[in-house]
Copies of this chain bind each other. A is one copy, B any other.
Amino acid sequence: MNIIRCGDTLLFRTPPVIAAKAAVGGKKEGEGPLAAAFDELGNDNRFGQSGWEAAEKYLQLRAARLCLQKAQLPEEKVDLALAGDLQAQCTASGYAMRELGVPFAGQFGACSTMAQALGLGAALCAGGGVRNLLAMASSHFCAAERQFRTPLSYGAVRTPTAQWTATAAGCCLLRPEGKGVSVTAATFGRVQDYQIRDINNMGAAMAPAAAATLLRYFADTHSQPQEFDCIYTGDLGQVGSRMLKELLAAEGLLVKNHLDCGCLLFDPETQQVKSGGSGAGCCAAVLCGHILPRLERGSHRRVLFVATGALMSQTTFLQKETIPAVAHLVELGPIRKEES
C-alpha cells in the first residue's frame, strides 16, 4: 500500500506532487507585500462581472485555467476537481465548475478548504485511479461581507480582532508522480470549540483547531516543530497567531518558525486590515504564490501548511451558537525533479 496511517495522519510513500499552481487576487491584494506572488491581479473587485459573487466565480475559474495552462494540460484531462468557497451553497465553486466542465466534488471547510482539498486530493492520487486533480479555493471580500457581516455601505468601524477577507483564489494541480513539490503527509482535523461567540474574532475561534491538529501531527509522526523550515497557518491573523503560540507553549512546544498566511498577505501598517487577512482564498493564494515557489527554489525544503476554518454561518451566529473550527494539515516538500 502506498498510504500508511499513523493516528490521524496519512503518510504517502510515493508522495503525490503539486505539478502546477496559480494564484489570482484583487486590487487590495495587489497593493500588499505579496503583489508579485500573484499570477494575475484585478484592477477592481468586479473583474468585469455583474456582481461580487460572480466575480469570485471568475477568480476561481481564472486560477484553474492559469494552472492548467502552466501544466499544458487540456481541461478534458482533469479527472476531478475538489473546490470550495465561503458563499452559501459553495456557489463560487459550483458556477466556476459549470464553466470548467470537469468532474467536481464540492468541498466545504470554510477557510480550511485548501488544505482539506489538498489532503483529500493527495490521498486520492496516492491511492490510485486519479491522475490529474485540481485542488482549489477562493474568497471575495465583498461577497463575504454581504453574507456574514455588516453591509459594506454602512461603513462600520472594524474591531482590532477583525480580519479582512481576501479577494483571491488559488489552484493546485495534483498528480500521483512526476515533477513538482511533494505532498508527503496529510492530517484531517477534528472540530474544536472554545466557546467563542464573537464573529469579529475568528483568530480566537480557530487557533485551538490549529493547535489540536498540529499536536496530533507531531504525535503521529514523532516529529518536532524545529524540523520544518516553516509552519504556515491559514488565516489566524495577529490575534490567532499569538493564541496558537500560547496554546502550543502550554503543551511544551516553543514554536519559533511559525508564519500565518493572513499576516503575510497584507501590510499591517498601511493596509488597515486589523488582525490580518482571512478567507478560503487567502491561504490558498499565499500557498500557490508564495510558499510553493520557495519549495520549488529550494529555499524551503520541508514545511507544514495548516489551514483553519470557522464552521459557523450567519444563521448559527444569530442563534447565539458558539463558533466551532477545524484545521487540516498537509506536509509539503521537498521538490521532486524527475519527469513522470
Contact = CB atoms under 8 A, between A and B. Distances in A.
Interface of A: 1-5, 8, 10, 50-51, 53-54, 79-80, 84, 86-91, 94-95, 97-98, 101-110, 116, 119-120, 123-124, 126-131, 147, 187-193, 311-316, 319, 321, 324, 326, 328
A88 B191 contact: no
B188 A103 contact: yes
Q: Is the interface of A mostly helix, strand, loop or mixed?
A: mixed
A259 to B, nearest CB: 25
A116 to B, nearest CB: 5
Q: Which residue of A86, A103, A187, A192 has the most chain B CB atoms within 10 A of its CB atom?
A: A103
A134 to B, nearest CB: 12
Contact of A1 (B50, B101, B128): B128
Contacts of A326: 94, 97, 104, 106
Contact of A108 (B106, B127, B188): B106
Given A5-B79, A89-B86, A105-B107, A191 B324 contact: no
A8 to B, nearest CB: 5
Given A105-B116, A106-B107, A191-B104, A87 B123 contact: no
